[in-house]
Amino acid sequence: MFNIFIWIVYMSKDFKEGFKEGFTLGTKLGYKLSKKGCGSTDIEDLFQTGGVLMVVETDPQAAGLGYKADANKVDKTKFPKYADGQNCGICSLYQGKLGSASGGCSLTHFSGKLIAATGWCKFYAKKV
């Protein structure tokens, strides 16, 4: 009987926490989406990053730096500095944890947003 009581208390705590987290995330997303007016890809990104926007390749600043979320798609004729194997995840300016899917970048161009670890831009500098 006591075990059931503990289980009920535990489950109700989990439910409350889950509800609170969901409500907070939903509020953040709703606010950002209402300001930005974005498509379904952006919504998916926001859910995956806990409400932080991903840098998009079409952003004028990102495009100017040759940023691609998938380094394999870098235009090698436009950016001859690019070499196979280079990506944000191993760049010295990458602020995400090793092995993370996305993280911040020290470049002010991308402040407040996340870049893909698989990405690349012309300021790539190998982490030493």
Dihedral angle computed from the Cα positions of residues 115, 46, 50 and 36, in that order, rounded to the nearest 10 degrees: 100
Stretch that binds ligand SF4, among 6-14, 39-47, 75-83, 116-124 (CB under 6 A): 116-124
Check residue 107 for interaction with ligand SF4 (CB under 6 A): yes
Which of 93, 108, 112, 127 binds ligand SF4 (CB under 6 A)? It is: 93
Check residue 88 for interaction with ligand SF4 (CB under 6 A): yes
Give me the DSSP letters along 46-70.
HHHTTTPPBP-TTSHHHHHTT-BSS
Angle formed by the axes of helices 40-48 and 2-36, nearest 10°: 140
**CA–CA dist 125, 28 (Å, integer):** 33
Check residue 52 for interaction with ligand SF4 (CB under 6 A): no
Check residue 82 for interaction with ligand SF4 (CB under 6 A): no
- Kindly write out the interface string for residues 26-45 of this chain, putting x where it contacts ligand SF4 by CB under 6 A and - elsewhere: --------------------
**Contact between 88 and 82 (Cβ < 8 Å):** no
Question: 37 or 85: whose CB is closer to ligand SF4?
Answer: 85
Stretch that binds ligand SF4, among 6-14, 15-23, 40-48, 117-125 (CB under 6 A): 117-125
**CA–CA dist 85, 104 (Å, integer):** 20
Q: How far apart are the first and last CA of the chain?
A: 59
Q: Which residues bind ligand SF4 (CB under 6 A)?
A: 67, 88, 91, 93-94, 105, 107, 115, 119-121, 123-124
